[in-house]
Amino acid sequence: MKSRIILFVAFLVMLTGNLRTQSLFENASDVSDTDKLVIDFNGYGRGSAYGGSENYDYSSVFAEFGIQGELSLNKAFLFTDLRFRAGTQFDSLYARFQLKETYAGYQSDKIDIYFGAKIVSWGRMDGFNPTDNITPYDYFFLSADPDDQKLPNMLLQTKWYITPNIDFELVLIPIYRPSIYRYDLFDLGEYTSFTNPTLPERTFNNGSVGAKLNFNLAKAGFSISYFQGFDPYYGFNLYDISWDGFVPSIELSSQPYKKNTIGTDFSVPLSSWIIRGEVAYNMTNNYTENMYIPNPGIEYVAGVEHQFWGITTILQYIGQYTLDFTPLDDQPDIGNPNEMIMSELTAFNRKIFNQQEKTNHAFSLSLSRSFAYETLSIEAIGYYNLTSEEWLVRPKLNWKITDHLETGIGGFYSTGPDESIFSYASKVLNGAFIELRVSF
């Protein structure tokens, strides 16, 4: 709590020291003639189909209309991204209006302030960001664009530009928003079901705060960050268990946990190469008594980017070290069914957090290239976890037919050993996708 008070005081100091507003009683002639209302907007319509998994012929099929607009007047700023979508997802019909982002703000040479529904992403790595603890994701929204999975938080964000190359960022999130995982779609057994998520109460103490000191220097970029609050990434807990003779009925509930994270990242260009790295130290409490809380640990990613024969190549190593690690009992008491069930559930949570072993090692490879004056682009992303032996690949072809019409086609395939996370998810998420999009 003390750290939040310190950060809040720092925010007030920045606000009062740098924010300059015009008094309501100033003469109208004092307003600069150059103040102009600037309005810019664009939009799109698209049709998207994703399907072919083991469990669903049509995992996600929808039509969507979206419009984005920016408004600025002097130093005031407004941005909105509105979307209307209708279709079917995992055999359920829906029609939904989505407020992707809408926030107001103040922008100046020394400070920016934004308040509203906003997406804030931290980290310099490609796709694997240990310091990105702010943005929740809808991992089961399937489309041709992975960025569609990002969700906004209702938050207050401010950036103080200490120098042109150094800035301090503060993010306050009063209400927790979790990522979306459809564990209920996994085939975990006929005796297991999921009930409503167990979410934290909407109180001041359950808000989250993030702070980052960022350096964008001529020959390198790096940052130091801190996060305190509920992690958007979570496991599940045992909600209830009952017995009908020898047959159990197990109810599970998704449940977030609190943590503190200290992180850093860097990016260094070396001639035609770019070297990147990111490290986060995650601190948790009460993890020995609660299966849904991971052990404290260190997550780290190191990567290199270079062009080979016009192909942009990004190779990354993704590692994790679990502190206070204790192996699970491989042979729980078979005479105690509850103990066996708890052991299985605890093991599954450890798989979710990549804490099956004390160390976890994985690699990712991203390849992309444009052709025909950038009207065609091909990309492919691969991932392999040496510890769990899980892997995935996601190829995609994008064709810009005209200035306003483009299509994307590709697929996603993942697999892993029996009872691994990927083995359950592959039955739902594997498949091919196609999208046609018109923009204006």
10-residue averages of pLDDT along the chain (440 residues):
45 41 39 72 97 95 97 94 97 95 96 97 94 95 95 97 97 96 84 90 95 95 98 93 86 95 97 96 96 97 96 98 88 72 90 95 97 94 97 98 97 95 94 97
What residue type is assigned to position 414 of the chain? S
H or E stretch at 429: helix 421-429
Q: What is the pLDDT of residue 246?
A: 79
Calpha distance 110→258 (Å, rounded): 33
What are residue 91's DSSP bridge partners? none
- What are phi and psi for residue 205, nearest 5 degrees? -70, -20
Q: What is the pLDDT of residue 225?
A: 98
Q: What is the pLDDT of residue 35?
A: 74
| 381 contacts: CB under 8 Å, gap ≥ 6 | 127, 364, 365, 366, 367, 393, 394, 395
Q: How many CB atoms lie within 10 A of CB 306?
A: 15
Calpha distance 306→424 (Å, rounded): 35
Q: What is the pLDDT of residue 255?
A: 94
Q: What is the pLDDT of residue 341?
A: 84
How many Å from the N-terminal Cα to the C-terminal Cα in the chain?
A: 48
Q: What is the pLDDT of residue 29?
A: 41
| Domains of the chain by residue range | 2-16+36-439
Q: What is the pLDDT of residue 369?
A: 97
Q: If you classify domain 2-16+36-439 with CATH, what class do you get?
A: mainly beta
- What are phi and psi for residue 355, nearest 5 degrees? -120, 30
Q: Tell me the whole-structure pTM to 2 decimals.
A: 0.87
Dihedral in degrees, nearest 10, Cα atoms 306, 309, 310, 312:
-30
Calpha distance 272→341 (Å, rounded): 53
Sheet strand arrangement including 247-255: 192-194, 247-255, 235-244
Calpha distance 49→93 (Å, rounded): 14
Calpha distance 205→49 (Å, rounded): 42
Burial of 327 (0-12, 13-18, 19+ CB in 10 A): exposed
Q: What is the pLDDT of residue 244?
A: 82
SS3 (DSSP) at 209: strand
Calpha distance 225→266 (Å, rounded): 12
